[in-house]
Amino acid sequence: MAGLNVIMLAMVPLTGASSQPTPTPPPPDCCIPAAGGRGAMVLQISRNGPPVQDQVRENSPAGMVWVPGGEFMMGSTDPLARSDEQPVHRVRVDGFWMDVTEVTNAQYAEFVAATGYVTLAERPVDWDELKKQLPEGTPKPADEVLKPGSLVFTPPDHAVSLSRYELWWTWTTGACWKHPEGPGSTIEGRADHPVVHIAYEDAVAYATWAGKRLPTEAEWEFAARGGLAGKMNVWGDDPVDATRCNTWQGHFPDQNTAEDGFARTAPVRSFAPNGYGLFDMAGNVWEWCSDLYRPDAYALLVESFGDQVAVNPQGPKTSLDPRNPYVPESRVHRGGSYLCSDVYCASYRPSARMACPPDTGLAHLGFRCVEAGPAPAAAPGTNK
């Protein structure tokens, strides 16, 4: 239903919500469920110096870079870190290949052309499924609302409470990856932008077709840190600014100055890559990971491992998302988006976690894939 459940939840009373305990406060709903303003500026320029030239290495899968495995401290105690980023704990991941960029509209179009795949946002909403994710007795919405659609960011023209995400997210029939802002909008001229309105199963379907998979949360954070240890941002400890990545500048959610050049998605590779040569690990669009979400996932892991290193953790076995108490599961996404503000959720940080039900598509949610080794014969950290 690509997010309709989320919006409906915001509009129904949550009395008697979940019988499950809430171990830690959830992160804010920030820009979840959220797409930059209409009439976005798109500047086809490269930031932070000259474009990085890809280095072709033998045996490198096309468009992927080798991320050497290793041990790192996962999570953060930075002042901006939320409780679900803690406790910081030891993790080791094996090396893996990772897409250099988020999967683009052109890449997703290739997949759809080859397979005839229809994304979840392009299918009618199944009320029998939707009502399982809502409080008992929630009235069925009008048939018009149950037509295929997704959540589109529709910024209000005035300041609003940051807890009222339904005021800037609009269920939009006809919105999907090919029509990111709804009927009438297209991806023409956006072939190299990240694909959006992608539900979890849509991302998995692409990854499977490509012979790849989604990254685990641990792999994603290890990769995002780019070889830096314990830094607040993927580029180090310097604060975010408009030259670093595609985020939100101005008052959220009503005033996007787009100082970085982009009010919505940016072409991939518009900003400098991180230490592993990965672009947009901060900002642009959120990226699905394979892990189920729990705010206490790290606490549970530490309970199991103590001060020992967790090797290739796959996430908790069960999901718990206090922001979506009725949904049977919630999946992690990482990296923040063009809606992340430094005065709000600051989720462009490599340790920041967010999640939503797997059937939720959003105008700022995409993905990238990973692939197992073997490692390249040449030095790691190079790409094609």
Closest to Ca ion by CB, 1 vs 352, is: 352
Q: Which is nearer to Ca ion, 38 or 140 (CB)?
A: 38
- C-beta of 182: minimal distance to Ca ion in Å? 20
Beta carbon of residue 334, minimum distance to Ca ion (angstroms, whole number): 18
- CB-nearer residue toward Ca ion: 150 or 284: 284
Strand order through the sheet with 310-311: 70-74, 89-93, 310-311
Q: Taking the complex as a whole, how short is the minimal distance between the CB of residue 103 and Ca ion, in angstroms? A: 20
| Nearest to Ca ion of 47, 334 (CB atom) | 47
Contacting residues for 241 by C-beta, under 8 A, at least 6 apart: none
> In the bound complex, what is the minimum distance in angstroms from residue 352's beta carbon to Ca ion?
17
Q: Shortest approach of Ca ion to residue 117 CB, angstroms?
A: 30
Q: Closest approach of Cβ 279 to Ca ion, in Å?
A: 15
- Token readout for 233 is 């941002």
Measured from the CB atom, is 89 or 264 closer to Ca ion? 264
User: What is the nearest approach in angstroms of Ca ion to the Cβ of residue 32?
Assistant: 17
96/271 with CB nearer Ca ion: 271
**Nearer Cβ to Ca ion, position 176 or 258?**
258
Residue-wise burial string across 325-338, b where 16 or more C-beta atoms lie within 10 A, e elsewhere: bbbebbbbbbbbbb
Amino acid symbol at 291: D
| b/e code 232-251 from CB counts within 10 Å (16+ = b) | bbbbeeeebebebbbbbbee
- Cβ closest to Ca ion, residue 264 vs residue 368: 264
Q: What are phi and psi of 221, to 5 degrees?
A: -70, -40
CA Rg, the chain, in Å?
19
Q: What H or E segment, with its residue span, contains residue 353? A: strand 353-356
Q: Least Å distance between CB 99 and Ca ion?
A: 22
- The answer, yes or no, to whether the previous bond of 253 is cis (omega within 30 of 0) is yes
Residue 55 DSSP label:
-
Q: Which residues contact 285 (CB under 8 A, 6 or more apart)?
A: 102, 194, 196, 265, 335, 337, 338, 364, 365, 366
Q: What are phi and psi of 71, to 5 degrees?
A: -105, 145
Sites of contact with Ca ion (CB under 5 A): 246, 260, 262, 338
